[in-house]
Structure 1
């Protein structure tokens, strides 16, 4: 099957393109958001091909995976007038939890009968107003990085992009109190200046933007994974940390309560409980390693790559052949 899919989320796409199909990824000269092409920091198979809009015009496409509202118009234009959902089968993949007036947030694809709306978590499907559009949930899958955990550094790994700008969404305001319990190493894009923003000394809050090939090893050296995010879809970094064998300390919000079972870490809506858990893991490396091993087993069972690809193949077959 030839599948047109934009390179929007690197980690999710990396799992998706491990399937048995051909993946057509748009590329533009500037490699901007609508034409990133193949990933440069993730390992993608040869079945992923970059195509320019001109090359897509006459390309055989069996299905379009839409991920952003404007992609439908882009696809129709670049596919020479073939409209997703009418002339070529389509699904809309929703990565995100709704924002703004959440209980009343209407999905851009609500009340459509020409495509299937796929959510990545049951929480997201519950909180979006999907109208009459057919929906399903395909939970995340992870390319297993292996059990790399050493926990040799008595610090917490945090992975978040733009923590200063996103503020309360990512729980940035909670970090000073948590940093009293365990020093933080914050990885992600645009994290510079975070310690100054929070008024923390450099030894209590360090930041780095690492390429994916280095990030997993860096995370696994830290004693625990800290997930202070208030409102988001289920962060793939959380699932990656569990695959690495890290114990998890996380806010009990959104889908995290489903992803982290008892014995794999500590979940709470009380920051002081999270601080106590982080302090305990810092002081008890053996307990941290044992809970991390349970986290890995749980992640492999629920978020393994085979289950993810099998779920997608069932949906692709349904959408293309009825």
Structure 2
């Protein structure tokens, strides 16, 4: 099947294009194309495209889909507030959410929705935990502030913060994905301080690596992190204590990290993700 899509969220797209279809990524002037990513995909112009299905991720993309191409709308984000009306509410197509929390909180009216949970390319069991420090991945922590828990990070010292535009708060700056995974794996525990975002793929990747995790019990984290993999709580002091215990006890950290990896492979493995998307594609494109 020839699937047309836009490069909106690189990590999600990296998983999506691992399937058995021909992936056509919209290039300029209507998209950013591959943007240097080494994906098994073809950058295309909308004037030349011949597709069996389009995966639309923003309302403005709907009007760009060539006539006659079936469409599925993919929503990556949480609403700004519970009950916010979705732009595709009362639409006659299929809307796909990436988490059950998002499906619960968006008001989609009569639009039919399904959930296809995240899947990630397995980086492998890289965890060593050799550095007695915590780690977090937070993109644009200064601009996004409390939403991503930037104000909480100093409470987890010693902690290293990775991601885009992290330098203003003393983070370690941008990394390519392979380097990021290797650096995360050297830290003892992964901290997920997000108050209100969709489920971060960095959390799932950290669990795949084999890291124990502590996470705020917000949005989808309560479903994504089992008790045996770490600690989930709305009490930040609970999380701080758990982080200190894991830093002080490498054996405990390794055991919880092992359980985290087992869980992540079972729930957020790439095979299940791709099978679910195959089902969606067959239903919508026929």
Per the normalisation by structure 1, the TM-score is 0.86
Q: Secondary structure at the match of 2:64?
A: helix
Shift of 1:193: 1.4
1:186 paired residue among 152, 157, 161: 161
Q: Are 1:10 and 1:39, in contact at CA under 8 Å, matched by a contact in 2?
A: no
Q: Which runs of 5+ in 1 are unaligned?
A: 196-205
Q: Which runs of 5+ in 2 are unaligned?
A: none
1:134 paired residue among 97, 101, 112: 112
Shift of 1:165: 1.0
Q: Could you tell me which residue of structure 2 aligns to residue 6 of structure 1? A: 6
Q: Could you tell me which residue of structure 1 aligns to residue 175 of structure 2? A: 210
Q: Secondary structure at the match of 1:104?
A: coil
Shift of 1:39: 4.8
Which aligned pairs between 1:23-172 and structure 2 lie closer than 5 A?
23-28=23-28, 34-41=30-37, 43-45=38-40, 48-52=41-45, 56-75=46-65, 79=66, 82=67, 87-99=68-80, 102-113=81-92, 115-172=93-150
Cα distance in 2 for partners of 1:91, 1:166 equals 29
Q: Are 2:134 and 2:156, in contact at CA under 8 Å, matched by a contact in 1?
A: no
Shift of 1:276: 0.2
Shift of 1:36: 2.1
Cα distance in 2 for partners of 1:10, 1:312 equals 17
Shift of 1:5: 0.5
Larger of the two Rg values belongs to structure: 1
Q: Could you tell me which residue of structure 2 aligns to residue 173 of structure 1? A: 151
Q: C-alpha deviations, 1:18-53, integer Å up to 9, x for none?
A: 111101101127xxxx52222535x422xx10112x
Cα distance in 2 for partners of 1:192, 1:249 equals 23
Q: C-alpha deviations, 1:117-163, integer Å up to 9, x for none?
A: 00000000000001000100000001111000000011111101111
Q: Secondary structure at the match of 2:179?
A: helix
Q: Secondary structure at the match of 2:167?
A: coil
1:315 and 2:280 aligned: yes
Q: Are 1:225 and 1:241, in contact at CA under 8 Å, matched by a contact in 2?
A: yes
Shift of 1:208: 2.1
Q: Are 2:91 and 2:111, in contact at CA under 8 Å, matched by a contact in 1?
A: yes
Aligned CA distance change for structure 1 residues 28 and 166 (closer, same or farther; 3 Å): same
Cα distance in 1 for partners of 2:235, 2:121 equals 32
Per the normalisation by structure 2, the TM-score is 0.97
Indicate the RMSD between aligned Cα atoms, in angstroms.
1.2
Q: Are 2:216 and 2:233, in contact at CA under 8 Å, matched by a contact in 1?
A: yes
Aligned CA distance change for structure 1 residues 295 and 39 (closer, same or farther; 3 Å): farther
Q: C-alpha deviations, 1:242-278, integer Å up to 9, x for none?
A: 0000000110110000011111011110010000001
Q: Could you tell me which residue of structure 2 aligns to residue 229 of structure 1? A: 194
Cα distance in 1 for partners of 2:278, 2:83 equals 32
Shift of 1:57: 2.1
Cα distance in 2 for partners of 1:59, 1:65 equals 14
Cα distance in 1 for partners of 2:126, 2:249 equals 19
Q: C-alpha deviations, 1:149-189, integer Å up to 9, x for none?
A: 0000111111011111111101111122222xxx1111111
